[in-house]
Amino acid sequence: MSGDLNGLIKAQAYGLGFDLVGLTTLGPVDTATANDEWLARGFAGDMEYLHRGAGKRRDTTLPFAGAISAIVVGLDYGGRAPPGPVARYARGDDYHDVMERKLGELHEWIEAAVGHDVAGKPYVDTGPILERDLARRAGLGWFGKNTNLIHPKLGSFFFIGALLIDLDVAPDPPFEADRCGTCTRCIDACPTEALVEPRVLDANRCISYLTIEAKGEIPEEFRQSTGSLIYGCDICQDVCPWNVRFAREPKVPEFAPRTVLASNDARTIAQTILAMDDDQFREAFKGSPMKRAKLRGLKRNAAVVLGNIG
């Protein structure tokens, strides 16, 4: 593929609304060993699905025959929005749907540009590949001590997606620098001490895991630490100096808070959730990432929050 077409692909991706775009070559994954060690230490909690598809996590050419390259994108979701009981990423429509649709449009455009079918597969946190690793290799940022990918002019409040294709593209240089320096604000700020060491997160202690992925009761030792957080947590991102300086105002209409979350008030939202039946839940959270916790999980979280705030 010519360098000119590489540039056109990037221009098209930006035209579709993505904030970051980088190209990289598929192959053995740099962080695969670290990921295996993280799983072996039990830090994935009950997320058994993270143990599946190990081969694809170690080699990104394996998702489909002929996969050669990846177009890696970032889509900002608005780190300047006020903090609240629901993590910023989950207040609007499901980012999986929004980004997969955009990546599908990009795929169609590439096929039209080259004049033939191009095998491709989009990933948005939807399969056993390490998108964060691909993003670093594509030059989109470094791994922060809070484990998030951080871009030097955008911070970390963005989604990562990748379109794997069977075209040979000229890769962008990887992001080699570590710009966290001696800063440990994210580690120090975590109320449950989930960041057990720089760039190592114990999901069993993480408020995002406890309020979204965990299926049982929130352990009593962590209930008070969840404070007024009903779904997810942004604390380790909020305190990051790169977000303090570079986080942006929300701009994607699909990510605007839905009606049930419009108040951004923990007591109001918790009481509303506790009063819901299944039909009301499906109506209020249709197309929302918050459906992942199911109504019983949200009611569990709401009860804990009301206990904390009195």
What integer pLDDT is reported at residue 163 of this predicted model? 98
4 tagged catalytic: no
CA distance 106 to 125: 18
Which residue's entry shows tokens 């009950």? 46
Active-site residue, selected from the candidate residues 4, 19, 97, 125: 125
* Residue 43 Cα distances to 30, 39, 51, 195, 262, angstroms: 19, 6, 12, 11, 34
What integer pLDDT is reported at residue 302 of this predicted model? 98
pLDDT by residue for the chain (310 residues), tens digit each? 455 889 999 999 999 999 999 999 999 999 999 999 999 999 999 999 999 999 999 999 999 999 999 999 999 999 999 999 999 999 999 999 999 999 999 999 999 999 999 999 999 999 999 999 999 999 999 999 999 999 999 999 999 999 999 999 999 999 999 999 999 999 999 999 999 999 999 999 999 999 999 999 999 999 999 999 999 999 999 999 999 999 999 999 999 999 999 999 999 999 999 999 999 999 999 999 999 999 999 999 999 999 999 8
Write down the pTM of the prediction: 0.96
Which residue's entry shows tokens 């039209």? 112
